[in-house]
Amino acid sequence: MKIILLGAPGSGKGTQASLITEKYNLPHISTGEIFRENIKNQTPLGVKVKEVMDSGNLCPDDLTIEIVKDRLSKEDCKGGYMLDGFPRNLTQAKALDEFLAPDIVINIDVDIKKIEHRIVGRRSCSKCKGSFHTDFIGNTEICPDCGAKLVIRKDDNAQTVRERINVYQNQTSPLIDYYTAQNKLCSVNGNQEIDDVFSEIVKVLG
């Protein structure tokens, strides 16, 4: 089973992708994670990607396609994949169709105002890497799990969020029509609780 998750930044793609890969035993391929790993290790790619991400823009197509194509060629993807964060535009979608086309595309549909609230309120632990939201922990700077300092990702601010959403709407939204034309797109209501969204996705995957 080859699955793509679509959805604006903050729509919950990463969370749902993790649940899907656990249930269906598929490798979770997140371009965001690949990029962040390179940024953390300060590789030449990481330096380039960091500049782009900090400005709220997307990485160049040729670079992103090359990275994804290499990852999908690995042995663990022979039985399928769970792609999160790729493709982001029609150029990437057409490239993916040429080397390993998806079977189904799930679009997580979330209200834009809710997305902004979700992202701006995100906090992560500098030590245990736990993920939290101010709705549940308030404005504390201390991790409720291990007591270490909570941090805010540099691009998790209102201005950058709006820029990322605008980029998504301009470049990624056309994928909805692209995959609808291929009869591969299914949309789920992403405004619900995590478990309810996942239940919808499981029904779609059948």
Given the residues 23, 40, 129, 153, the one annotated as active site: 153
Active site residue 153: yes
Residues 6+ apart with CB under 8 A from 23: 202
3-state helix, strand, coil in the chain (%, to 5): 50, 15, 30
Active site residue 129: no
Given the residues 50, 71, 88, 123, the one annotated as active site: 88
Given the residues 36, 122, 162, 184, the one annotated as active site: 122
Q: Which two tokens stand for residue 168?
A: 């998504």
Given the residues 13, 50, 71, 123, the one annotated as active site: 13
Residue 125: which H helix or E strand, with range? strand 122-125
Report d(CA 85, CA 81) in Å as an integer: 13
Q: Compute and round to an integer the Cα radius of gyration of the chain.
A: 17
Q: Which two tokens stand for residue 140?
A: 């504390």
Hunting for tokens 């604006």 — which residue is that? 8
> Three-class SS of residue 140?
coil
Active site residue 122: yes
- Comparing C-alpha atoms, which of 12, 27, 181 is closest to residue 97? 181
Given the residues 2, 118, 123, 164, the one annotated as active site: 164
Active site residue 114: no
Asked if 139 and 148 count as a contact pair (C-beta separation under 8 A), the reply is no
Catalytic residues: 13, 88, 122, 153, 164
